[in-house]
Amino acid sequence: MKIATLTNPEEILITETTKPAAKENEIVIKVDYIGICGSDIHAYYGKHPFITCPITLGHEFVGRVVETGKGVKGVLPGELVTAIPQIFCHQCEPCRSGRYNICDTLKVIGCQTPGAACDYFAFDASLVKKIPKGMPKEIAATIEPAAVGVHAVHRGADVKGKNVVVMGAGTIGNLTAQAALAEGAKQVLITDLSDYRLEVARECGISQIANTGKVSVEIAMKQAFQGDKADIFFECVGIGATVNQAIELSKKGHDIVVVGVFGNRPEINMSLVQDKELRLIGSLMYVEKDYDRTIDLMNRGMIHTKPLISKTFELADYAKAFRYIEEHKDSSLKVLIQVSE
């Protein structure tokens, strides 16, 4: 079978290797699609602090079961599945309280252990999630990033009936905004500097959009919420400027959920955080209940990922896909790799 390895930054080698056999509690799938995400892009350019070469990437994937190990129950060959790509210890304090997304020794499949950028991929059956009948494979490949958005929405105060601002309309911002709407937010305003990303947000059903290169967040909020203020902010950019804007514009005593990944260490206006009794809440990946909720919401048409899929490449063109993303930074969102037909 074919396997793609990021051997050095900007160097992907596709080689032949032996197809894996299912161990006792493992499932082997024939991989259909993998998604490329922000962390893959950082890894590709050698800029991810926790991913080192050589590595087979691919933590967003979908495929058909071809083999199950002796101990595996309830999953059959032929079924379309994905997996929660988290390997955790079950013993540390976060794990014991069910927060294994922040396990002290968390390993992410495709980041710290080999991922699914190969024809056949084996993983522990405890991580498997079945794809509902009728959900297209390429849509199923986007469950993982959607779960990031759903988890973020579950991290802050209940969004039901609330005015929500999502800063950043990239894949995660878009999906966070959709998740907020799906969980009953009254109004969701999404902001970005790219009209392309905002148009995709609109296509996904987020009607309140604002290009903050043209209008201030404050004015956009007034228009979106009929003069009212935002009850909760989601920072999905990962820069100090947007965090500080959220801190300044937040109502007193409310939540700011920090979802963006920060390349630099910004200066944050902590005096206002203290004075307004704000809560800055971090959000990382997801746990199983977020995954189940995501699959359910996507299956019921409450979260749409089709407009987010900008382009699909074949595995042979994996490196081209990374170059495409680099060249289309402001005009592409999710890029998929079709591994097999």
- Judged by beta carbon, residue 113 or residue 269, the one nearer Zn ion is 113
* Residues of this chain, 48-77, that bind Zn ion according to CB under 5 A: none
In this structure, the strands spanning 26-36 and 120-124 are antiparallel
Interaction between residue 272 and Zn ion (CB under 5 A): no
- List the beta bridge partners of residue 313: 337
User: Whole-number minimum distance, CB 166 to Zn ion, in Å?
Assistant: 18
Q: Which of 89, 272, 273, 284 binds Zn ion (CB under 5 A)?
A: 89
User: Whole-number minimum distance, CB 201 to Zn ion, in Å?
Assistant: 19
Q: Which stretch binds Zn ion (CB under 5 A): 73-81, 86-94, 279-287, 294-302?
A: 86-94
Cα–Cα nearest to 276, from 251, 252, 257, 246: 252
Residue 52, CA atoms < 13 Å, CB-side half-sphere = 2
Q: Which of 57, 95, 169, 246 binds Zn ion (CB under 5 A)?
A: 95
CB atoms within 10 A of CB 277: 9
In this structure, the strands spanning 60-68 and 26-36 are antiparallel
Q: Which stretch binds Zn ion (CB under 5 A): 2-10, 101-109, 250-258, 319-327?
A: 101-109
Interaction between residue 92 and Zn ion (CB under 5 A): yes
Interaction between residue 88 and Zn ion (CB under 5 A): yes
User: Whole-number minimum distance, CB 144 to Zn ion, in Å?
Assistant: 5
Q: Which of 28, 80, 84, 103 binds Zn ion (CB under 5 A)?
A: 103
Where on the phi/psi map is residue 35: left (φ > 0), alpha (ψ -120 to 50), or beta? beta
Interaction between residue 225 and Zn ion (CB under 5 A): no
How many residues interact with Zn ion (rule CB under 5 A)? Answer: 6
- Judged by beta carbon, residue 101 or residue 163, the one nearer Zn ion is 101
* Residues of this chain, 25-44, that bind Zn ion according to CB under 5 A: 37
Tell me which DSSP letter residue 73 carries.
-
Tell me which DSSP letter residue 238 carries.
-
- Judged by beta carbon, residue 89 or residue 281, the one nearer Zn ion is 89
Contact 64, 163 (CB under 8 A): no
User: Whole-number minimum distance, CB 91 to Zn ion, in Å?
Assistant: 6
User: Whole-number minimum distance, CB 93 to Zn ion, in Å?
Assistant: 8
- Judged by beta carbon, residue 92 or residue 272, the one nearer Zn ion is 92
The DSSP-derived string for 153-165 is: HHHSS--TT-EEE
Crossing angle between the packed helical segments 195-203 and 171-182, to the nearest 10 degrees: 30
* Strand ranges in 46-152 using DSSP code E only, listed in sequence order: 60-68, 80-83, 86-87, 107-108, 120-124, 128-130
- Judged by beta carbon, residue 89 or residue 193, the one nearer Zn ion is 89
Q: Which stretch binds Zn ion (CB under 5 A): 79-87, 94-102, 118-126, 238-246?
A: 94-102
- Judged by beta carbon, residue 178 or residue 187, the one nearer Zn ion is 178
Residues 6+ away with beta carbon under 8 Å from 141: 32, 33, 34, 35, 60, 61, 62, 82, 336
Length of the chain: 341
Interaction between residue 319 and Zn ion (CB under 5 A): no
User: Whole-number minimum distance, CB 210 to Zn ion, in Å?
Assistant: 26
Kindly list the residues in this chain that would bind Zn ion in the complex (CB under 5 A): 37, 88-89, 92, 95, 103
